[in-house]
Amino acid sequence: MRRPALRQALLAAVLASAAAAVSTSAPAQDGLTERAEMIETIQAHARSAPSAVEGQGIDPVVLKAMGSVPRHLFVPEEQRGAAYRDRPLPIGYGQTISQPFIVALMTDLINVRPGGVVLEIGTGSGYQAAVLSPLAAKVYSIEIIPELGERAAARLAALRFDNVEVKVGDGYHGWPAHAPFDGIVVTAAASHIPPPLVEQLAKGGRMVVPVGGPFATQFLMLVEKRGDGSITTRQLLPVRFVPLTGSRAR
């Protein structure tokens, strides 16, 4: 249930969950103040984008998940000083970690419920999967670049995100063996909404996907599959993502 929250109460909850929920290792406890400030920035962006954000803003449950993940452990060491700034950062191989607001928005839009199964296309450093982890029963994530996929899998395992499974492969085709998915998050821009992903979306499920070329305007799209199997799409806001690669992405 979405509800307004007092600023101090929300920040206190974020700090408490960040201290308790991720890992008992000392490095994962760093950046608590920065995470709280990141949450404030996310909320400010949400208030300025009412057409994209549903209800009363980003769900507090999503904000709690964002606050529990040590983002600085998901970026290269030389980028850690900027880890909690609201901007994308390079992670190598021509890829980026999305800005925190976009991660929060995409997570919020798929409306993960307890017991839900989620598919992510484009693991990258593993950050989006880590944010989804406490919200879903199972998260499946596909990364086309072997080095990134292997590193993300190791990182997620070390930080005890035990319900996340990563594989290296072409995400355009989804992961049929584990379909249908209650939510699908695509973290790279395609020229069109991939039909295999629509097929693998459960009835009542949602998918968020950036659509557009690398040198053209991209828009974040919300795709919903109704109970009768019909599909609705909604254009939300302009975005800029790295391109989805693979055999059919363009």
Residues 6+ apart with CB under 8 A from 115: 137
Residues 6+ apart with CB under 8 A from 220: 52, 102, 105, 106, 208, 209, 210, 235, 236, 237, 238, 239
- Helix or strand or coil: residue 111? coil
Answer yes or no: are the C-beta atoms of 128 and 208 closer than 8 Å. Answer: no
Degrees, nearest 5: CA angle 110-173-165: 65
* Phi/psi-derived region of residue 97, left when phi > 0, alpha when psi is between -120 and 50, beta in every other case: beta
| Whether 51 is catalytic | no
Catalytic option among 17, 98, 125, 141 = 98
Return the structure tokens found at 28.
């994962």
Q: How far apart are the first and last CA of the chain?
A: 38
Angle (deg, nearest 10), helices 7-21 and 32-48: 130
Q: Which residues carry out catalysis?
A: 98
